[in-house]
Amino acid sequence: MTHRQTSILKASPEAIHEAAQALRRGGLVAFPTETVYGLGADATSDAAVAAIFAAKNRPQFNPLIVHFADAERAAAAVAFDERARTMAQAFWPGPLTLVLPRRAANGISLLVSAGLDTVAVRVPSQPVARALLVEAGLPVAAPSANRSFSVSPTTASHVAADLDGRIDLILDDGPCRLGLESTVVDLSTKASTLLRLGGLPVEDIEAVIGPLAPPTGGRPKSPGMLSRHYAPGRPVRLNAAEAGPDEALLGFGPHVPGATLNLSPRGNLAEAAANFFAMMRELDRGEFAAIAVSPIPQTGLGRAINDRLNRAATPQGADDMNGISAP
Ligand code: TXA
Ligand code: MG
List of domains in the chain: 7-209 (3.90.870.10), 236-312 (3.40.50.11030)
Q: What is the pLDDT of residues 270-321, one digit of tens each?
A: 999 999 999 999 998 889 999 999 999 999 999 999 999 998 887 654 433 3
Pairing type for strands 140-141 and 65-67 reads: antiparallel
Q: What distance in angstroms lies between residue 68's CA and the mean position of ligand 2's atoms?
A: 18
> What pLDDT is stored for residue 326 in this prediction?
29
Ligand 1 atom closest to Cα of residue 221: 31
**Under 8 Å between Cβ of 273 and 183:** no
Identify the segments of the chain with pLDDT beneath 70: 61, 216-231, 315-327
Closest ligand to the CA of 147: 2
Kindly give the residue spans of alpha helices, DSSP state H, lying in 57-210. 71-77, 82-91, 127-136, 156-163, 202-209
Ligand 1 atom closest to Cα of residue 97: 3
Q: Which residues have a beta carbon within 5 Å of ligand 2, which is an ion? A: 144
Ligand 1 cavity residues, CB under 6 Å: 33, 35-36, 38, 62-65, 97, 99, 113, 116, 118-120, 122, 142-144, 181-182, 184, 195-196, 221-224
Ligand 1 atom closest to Cα of residue 184: 23
Report the nearest-CA residue for atom 31 of ligand 1: 222
> What pLDDT is stored for residue 221 in this prediction?
53
> What pLDDT is stored for residue 2 in this prediction?
80
Q: What distance in angstroms lies between residue 291's CA and the mean position of ligand 1's atoms?
A: 27
Measured distance CA(294)–CA(251) in Å, rounded: 5
Q: What distance in angstroms lies between residue 63's CA and the mean position of ligand 1's atoms?
A: 7
> What pLDDT is stored for residue 314 in this prediction?
78
Best substitution site from 91, 113, 144, 194 to test ligand 1's pocket, by max atoms within 8 Å of Cβ? 144
**Strand blocks (E) in the chain:** 7-10, 29-31, 38-42, 65-67, 96-101, 118-122, 140-141, 169-172, 183-186, 193-196, 236-237, 247-251, 261-262, 290-293
Q: What distance in angstroms lies between residue 152's CA and the mean position of ligand 2's atoms?
A: 6
Q: What distance in angstroms lies between residue 288's CA and the mean position of ligand 2's atoms?
A: 25
Q: What distance in angstroms lies between residue 245's CA and the mean position of ligand 1's atoms?
A: 37
Measured distance CA(302)–CA(294) in Å, rounded: 12
Ligand 1 atom closest to Cα of residue 119: 29
> What pLDDT is stored for residue 62 in this prediction?
85
Best substitution site from 96, 97, 113, 121 to test ligand 1's pocket, by max atoms within 8 Å of Cβ? 97
Ligand 1 atom closest to Cα of residue 124: 7
Measured distance CA(129)–CA(56) in Å, rounded: 20
Measured distance CA(38)–CA(61) in Å, rounded: 18
